[in-house]
């Protein structure tokens, strides 16, 4: 694990902030100064309860949201200054990114490969690769709206990587999936890691994060409470299971809301 830290980060986040304004609640800090890196060949997990700021963070990285403060880059491209380049180097998968129901599976893959800048001459070869890799061949000409949820999931993952991006974001990818499809998702992410991709994985399901992630960031109320490998987190808390580790961090910060980021000194600090 430590060797990955020596590599150039594919994703670099520094003091990233996002504030929303609501009429009744005023300003809300959804993300409150978080910093982390993700390197190629690594699955970086963002663990947090609902509303912790995981999706907001990932949306800023995918340029859907604009940061209020701090900075973030993907493959060296700033998310504010070079949004298009960031998105071309990124595959974004979440429950809120659905497929076009009226296109066939193959048309879907062709469209996403092309629009993300994959070389036109190699689009068909790439699509064939994906069709074989995900076992889509049987229904490649079937419209997405007619596919089962398992088939749609495969097409959805395939479209996320259609342009072969170096960075992949999976935001709560197993939400709503049955056990078999969730297992399949985890297997795919393991394969992507083996392919040398930098994977950002957000979830509130401890077992998945424990199984998949090389490093884990625990996010709570917009703050990164801890960051490190599972072993690091175990060592700093004295707990074995991630669930207990998570509860310990959250309980501590709830008891001391004034605690500043970095109060948990034994955690691996973000690289500067």
Partner 1 sequence: MKWREIGILYRHELRSALRERTIVVNGILIPIFLYPVMLWGMFTAVTFVQGLNEGFTSRVVIEGQLPALNAELRDSLAALPDVRIEDDVADPRTAVSEGRLDALVTLSPASGTPGALPGNFAVDVAFDGSETRSVNARDRVEAVVERWRARWLGELGEDLGLDAADRGVFVLRSDNVSTARDVSEQLLGYMLSVFLIIMVAVGCFIPAVDTTAGERERSTWETLMTVGADRGSIVVAKYLYVATLGVVAGALNVVALMVSIGAVLEPLLGQSGASIEVALSPMAALVMVGAASLLALTFAAAMMVFASFARSFKDGQAMVSPVMWLIFLPILLGGEGSDVNLSVNTALVPLLNVSMMIRDAIRGVFMWEGIAITLGVSVALVVVLLLIARRILSFEEFLTGSFDGSFWRFAKDRLLTRG
Q: What would the DSSP string read from start to end of 58-118?
A: HHHHTTSS--SEEEEEETTEETTT-HHHHHHTEEEEETT----TTSBHHHHHHHHHHHTT-
Nearest approach, Cβ of residue 246 and partner 1 (Å):
28
Nearest approach, Cβ of residue 97 and partner 1 (Å):
4
Q: Judged by CB under 8 A, does residue 263 bind partner 1? A: no
Nearest approach, Cβ of residue 10 and partner 1 (Å):
16
Nearer to partner 1, 60 or 216 (CB): 60
For residues 21 and 26, what is the distance between their CA atoms, to the nearest angstrom?
A: 5
Nearest approach, Cβ of residue 134 and partner 1 (Å):
18
Q: Report the alpha-carbon angle 209-83-38, nearest 5.
A: 30
Nearer to partner 1, 94 or 237 (CB): 94
Per-residue interface string for the shown chain with partner 1, residues 43-82, x marking contact by CB under 8 A: ----------------x--xxxxx----------------
Nearer to partner 1, 106 or 248 (CB): 106
Q: Please identify which residue in 73, 94, 153, 237 interacts with partner 1, judged by CB under 8 A.
A: 94
Cα-based torsion angle of the residue sequence 252, 253, 256, 261 in order, rounded to the nearest 10 degrees: 130
Q: Kindly determine how many residues on this chain lie close enough to bind partner 1 according to the rule CB under 8 A.
A: 33
**Residue 31: closest CA among 49, 48, 56:** 56
For residues 59 and 65, what is the distance between their CA atoms, to the nearest angstrom?
A: 6
Residues 95-154 that bind partner 1 (CB under 8 A): 95-103, 107, 111-112, 114-117, 143
Burial track 116-140 (b if 16+ CB lie within 10 A, e otherwise):
bebeeeebeebbeebbeebebeebb
Longest dimension (CA), the chain: 59
**Residue 222: closest CA among 1, 18, 14, 12:** 18
Per-residue interface string for the shown chain with partner 1, residues 177-216, x marking contact by CB under 8 A: ----------------------------------------
Nearer to partner 1, 65 or 216 (CB): 65
Nearer to partner 1, 109 or 253 (CB): 109
Nearest approach, Cβ of residue 226 and partner 1 (Å):
28
**φ, ψ of residue 114 in degrees (nearest 5):** -65, -50
Kindly state the tokens that stand for 260.
């500043």
Sequence-ordered list of residues with C-beta below 8 angstroms from that of 231, at least 6 positions apart, any chain: none
Cβ atoms of 158 and 191 closer than 8 Å:
no
Nearer to partner 1, 44 or 118 (CB): 118
Nearest approach, Cβ of residue 100 and partner 1 (Å):
6
Which residues sit at the interface with partner 1, rule CB under 8 A? 59, 62-66, 83-85, 87-90, 92, 94-103, 107, 111-112, 114-117, 143, 163
């Amino acid at each position: 694990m430590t060797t990955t830290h020596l590599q150039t980060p594919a994703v670099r986040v520094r003091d990233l902030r996002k504030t929303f304004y609501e009429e009744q609640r005023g300003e809300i800090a959804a993300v409150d100064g978080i910093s982390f890196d993700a390197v190629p060949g690594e699955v970086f997990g963002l663990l947090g309860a609902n509303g912790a700021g995981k999706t907001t963070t990932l949306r800023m990285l995918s340029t859907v949201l604009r940061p209020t403060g701090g900075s973030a880059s993907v493959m060296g491209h700033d998310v504010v200054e070079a949004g298009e380049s960031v998105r071309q180097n990124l595959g974004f998968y979440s429950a809120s990114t659905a497929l076009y129901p009226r296109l066939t599976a193959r048309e879907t893959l062709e469209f996403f490969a092309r629009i993300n800048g994959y070389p036109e001459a190699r689009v068909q070869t790439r699509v064939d690769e994906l069709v074989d890799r995900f076992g889509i061949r049987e229904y490649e000409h079937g419209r997405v709206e007619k596919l089962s949820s398992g088939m749609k999931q495969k097409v959805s993952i395939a479209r996320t990587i259609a342009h072969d991006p170096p960075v992949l974001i999976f935001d709560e990818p197993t939400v709503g999936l049955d056990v078999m499809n969730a297992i399949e998702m985890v297997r795919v992410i393991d394969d992507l890691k083996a392919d040398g991709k930098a994977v950002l994985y957000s979830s509130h399901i401890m077992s998945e994060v424990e199984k998949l992630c090389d490093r884990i960031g625990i996010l709570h109320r917009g703050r990164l409470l801890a960051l490190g490998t599972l072993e690091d987190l175990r060592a700093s808390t004295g707990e074995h299971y991630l669930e207990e580790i998570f509860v310990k961090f959250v309980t501590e910060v709830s008891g001391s809301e004034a605690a500043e980021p970095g109060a948990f000194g034994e955690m691996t600090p973000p690289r500067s």
